[in-house]
């Protein structure tokens, strides 16, 4: 990728970032870390308040002004709770798992383009820690590494609930990452770059969320699956698995898992803003002051975070097989076919000359996409359920589990009671 | 001029230091009241199911097919990204090549689907 940068010359953003003195880089690292933690604290509180309102109750409103310090108080309280190391736990892995899940969460946060050019203490720079030529890949890679922390933590706890939660989490993240990655391909194709700042820059002509609507929809669905949030929060399904992978974790170790989860939510929301909502740009305006862009960026990110809360307040949790089915049999094929179509359209629009050949090839590609579509819509082969051999003559409920016909109420209504209803008290 | 990846490393170091500090400090900050039952694994109040002493032993993994398919698709993705970046300069040749490429993996995917590899039992 360095080769690529040298060929085209560095972009303006990369030039500015490369000139940052080391104190500014360190300052940005610290501030970015603080932004992650503060957004987490805010998000927990906001989530509890909004979900509370959705359930006709006020939510936390006692600690601090308007209850906004509740999550800070909870975080402090967690630090003063007993740290338990279960007997069956694998000590080293149990100890390290929260660290493993925290580090990638923050690293992914560092390629987000928060805003444009500003001047900090007389130094011209960009409100972004790094603008790597592989920025989008960093986010995807970090979200995959983050699941190691969950899997190792769940395995090392020595608890069946934790183990199940961890395994679910692994299956979930790998299933939804495919769809997530495929939905990003369209954006990269249109922007012609993997760098997050370039992608924002490329959207000055139009945001990708309407230019690439299917990509946007797939991205939003799979980002919820990727971060283990409701309605896809199967790794920590309270009604099935107690706490899921963090059942055995207490005190600050538990807090770190919580922190990682919320920072990941902020990261994917920020990525959705970057990839589809034009980053910090305001529609019909060119680049404005970097600080204003920062505010706009945060506002757009909060929009996605609100979506997370809204989903949690509205939708019930998926069943596990339904969840896997949605990922592998709906999102992946749709993303695959859409990617093919986007490729074909793009090449058609950029190719000059040789129109007939281009049209032919593009027709073939679109035809292939159509064949794929039909192939995926074929009904599944279903095997007839074998007759069940009963082990004994003990009466069993019907095994075909067919839904009953009409409900008792309707039957009662259809056939009026022959006896007249009792109208009054008998003497 | 700083290597841009150095900033990522700083971030990882800061996050790692914070996390390690929290994990190490937790036993010292919090109280310690010994109770044998507290150290058992939590299984809703019943006696914990017996397990090997070292680690938690081996467990059957039901979704290895999903995992293998994931690896396949992840490799496909990693190769699609460079194509997407360079698509405009590759033109028709690139489009044909990438179609053949997706077709190969699409066939495998379709095969696994029809053979029931994606069913979750």
| Cβ pair A98:B19 closer than 8 A | yes
Confidence of residue B59 (pLDDT cuts 50, 70, 90): low
Q: How far does A393 lie from chain B, in Å, by closest CA?
A: 28
> Which tokens is A388 given?
């069940």
Contact A181 B74 (CB under 8 A): yes
Question: To the nearest whole angstrom, how far is the Cα of B5 from the nearest Cα of chain A?
Answer: 8
Q: List, as own/partner pairs, every contact residues A374-383 make where C-beta atoms lie below 8 angstroms and the sequence separation is at least 24, other chains included.
A: A375/B110, A376/A329, A376/A333, A376/A337, A376/B110, A376/B113, A381/B114, A381/B116
* Nearest Cα residue to A223 out of A273, A151, A167, A272: A272
For B33-49, what is the mean pLDDT? 75
pLDDT for the residue B96: 83
pLDDT exceeds cutoff 80 at B43? no
Nearest Cα of chain B lies from the Cα of A95 at a distance, in angstroms, of: 7
Distance CA A285, CA A76 (A): 43
Query: Which whole number is the average pLDDT over B37-60?
Result: 65
Instruction: Identify the closest residue of chain A to B107 by CA–CA distance.
Output: A372
What's residue A398's pLDDT? 56
Q: What is the mean pLDDT of chain B?
A: 79
Residue A90 main-chain phi, psi, to 5 deg = -80, 105
pLDDT at B66 over 70: yes
pLDDT along chain A (427 residues), means of 10: 49 74 83 89 90 89 86 88 82 88 89 80 77 85 86 82 82 86 89 85 81 89 86 76 80 88 90 86 75 86 91 85 83 86 81 67 76 70 55 58 62 63 51
Q: Does B99 touch chain A (CB under 8 A)?
A: yes
**What global pTM score does this model have?**
0.81
Point out the residue among B23, B84, B99 whose CB comes nearest to the CB of A99. Answer: B23
* Helical packing angle, A213-226 and A160-191, nearest 10°: 160
- Residue-level pLDDT at A219: 92
A251 CB near a chain B CB, below 8 Å? Answer: yes
């Amino acid at each position: 990728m360095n080769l690529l940068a040298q060929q085209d010359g560095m972009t303006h953003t990369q030039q500015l970032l490369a000139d940052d003195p080391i104190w500014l880089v360190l300052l940005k690292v610290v501030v970015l870390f603080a932004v992650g933690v503060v957004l987490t604290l805010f998000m927990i509180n906001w989530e509890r308040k909004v979900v509370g309102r959705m359930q006709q109750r006020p939510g936390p409103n006692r600690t601090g002004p308007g209850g906004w310090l509740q999550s800070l108080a909870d975080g402090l309280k967690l630090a003063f709770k007993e740290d338990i190391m279960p007997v069956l736990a694998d000590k080293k892995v149990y100890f390290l798992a929260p660290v493993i899940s925290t580090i990638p969460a923050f690293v992914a946060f560092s390629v987000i383009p928060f805003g444009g050019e500003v001047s900090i203490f007389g130094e011209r720079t960009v409100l972004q820690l790094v603008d790597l030529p592989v920025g989008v890949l960093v986010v995807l890679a970090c979200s995959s590494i983050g699941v190691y922390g969950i899997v190792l933590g769940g395995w090392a706890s020595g608890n069946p609930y934790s183990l199940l939660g961890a395994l679910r989490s692994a299956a979930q993240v790998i299933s939804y990452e495919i769809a997530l990655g495929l939905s990003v391909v369209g954006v990269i194709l249109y922007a012609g770059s993997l760098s997050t700042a370039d992608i924002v820059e490329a959207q000055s002509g139009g945001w990708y969320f309407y230019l690439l609507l299917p990509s946007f929809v797939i991205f939003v669905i799979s980002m919820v699956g990727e971060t283990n949030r409701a309605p896809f929060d199967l790794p920590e399904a309270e009604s099935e698995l107690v706490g899921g992978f963090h059942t055995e974790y207490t005190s600050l170790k538990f807090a770190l898992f919580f922190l990682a989860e919320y920072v990941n939510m902020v990261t994917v929301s920020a990525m959705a803003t970057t990839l589809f909502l034009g980053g910090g740009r305001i529609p019909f305006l060119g680049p404005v002051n970097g600080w204003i862009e920062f505010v706009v960026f945060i506002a757009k990110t909060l929009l996605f975070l609100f979506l997370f809360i809204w989903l949690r307040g509205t939708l019930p949790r998926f069943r596990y097989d339904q969840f896997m089915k949605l990922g592998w049999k709906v999102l992946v094929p749709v993303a695959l076919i859409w990617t093919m179509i986007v490729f074909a359209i793009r090449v058609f629009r950029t190719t000059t000359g040789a129109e007939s050949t281009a049209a032919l090839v593009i027709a073939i590609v679109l035809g292939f996409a159509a064949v794929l579509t039909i192939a995926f819509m074929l009904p599944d082969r279903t095997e007839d359920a074998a007759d069940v051999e009963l082990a004994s003559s003990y009466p069993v409920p019907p095994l075909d589990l067919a839904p009953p016909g009409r409900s008792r109420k309707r039957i009662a209504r259809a056939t009026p009671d022959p006896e007249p209803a009792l109208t009054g008290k008998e003497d | 001029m700083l290597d841009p990846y150095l900033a990522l490393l700083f971030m990882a170091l800061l996050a790692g230091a914070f996390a390690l500090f929290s994990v190490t400090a937790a036993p010292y900050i919090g109280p310690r009241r010994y109770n044998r039952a507290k150290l058992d694994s939590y299984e809703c109040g019943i006696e914990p199911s017996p397990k090997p002493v070292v680690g938690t032993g081996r467990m059957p993994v039901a979704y290895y097919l999903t995992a293998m398919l994931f690896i396949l698709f992840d490799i496909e993705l990693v190769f699609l990204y460079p194509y997407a970046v360079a698509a405009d300069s590759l033109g028709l040749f690139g489009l044909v090549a990438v179609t053949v490429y997706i077709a190969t993996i699409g066939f495998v995917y379709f095969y696994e689907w029809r053979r029931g590899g994606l069913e979750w039992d």
